[in-house]
Amino acid sequence: MSHDPNCIFCKIVAGQIPSKKAYEDEHLLAFHDIHPWAPVHVLIIPKQHIATHAELGTEHAELAGRMLLLAPRLMKELGVGNGFRTVINTGPDGGQEVYHLHMHVMGGPRPWLKG
Ligand code: AMP
Ligand code: ZN
């Protein structure tokens, strides 16, 4: 599984940086965002290092599907019952700050800090 030693989310996967985990399996990790915009704000990431959404290929179709399927399941587990928002920022103009693919999943009662 590809791993970038300089990547902060790879370090979270490896347990070198602490995180508040919400879900983990062989392929994926979900943890609470350190600067939440919403009452519940988790990041779903693949354990393997893929820098951006733009780098996903057909070989990642199953992994991408797993990420998409986890979001509603996790929100339900976390008690979010009135809808949620998913966001993937890609590249400089997409506002991506951490270059390890991640899906923001946000829910909980409004108002939220952003969006
Ligand atoms: P993006 O702009 O989509 O790349 O967002 C990166 C997100 O990662 C931001 O919402 C940050 O608050 C979050 N983040 C950065 N470092 C950590 C960390 N160590 N633990 C949890 N969330 C983090
Ligand atoms: Zn990484």
Q: Three-state SS for 9?
A: helix
For the stretch 35-85, pLDDT in tens is 999 999 999 999 999 999 999 999 999 999 999 999 999 999 999 999 999
Residue 77 is assigned to a structural domain of this protein: yes
The whole-angstrom separation of Cα 6 and Cα 2 is 12
Query: What is the rounded CA–CA span in Å between residue 77 and residue 24?
Result: 13
| Number of structural domains the chain divides into | 1
Looking at residue 68, which CATH number applies to its domain?
3.30.428.10
How many Å separate Cα 52 from the centre of its chain? Answer: 12
CA–CA dist 108, 82 (Å, integer): 7
Q: What is the pLDDT of residue 61?
A: 98
Confirm or reject: Cβ of 93 under 6 Å from ligand 1: no
Would residue 115 count as lying in a domain? no
Give the active site residue among 41, 49, 100, 102: 102
Confirm whether pTM is higher than 0.95.
yes
Average pLDDT, the chain: 97
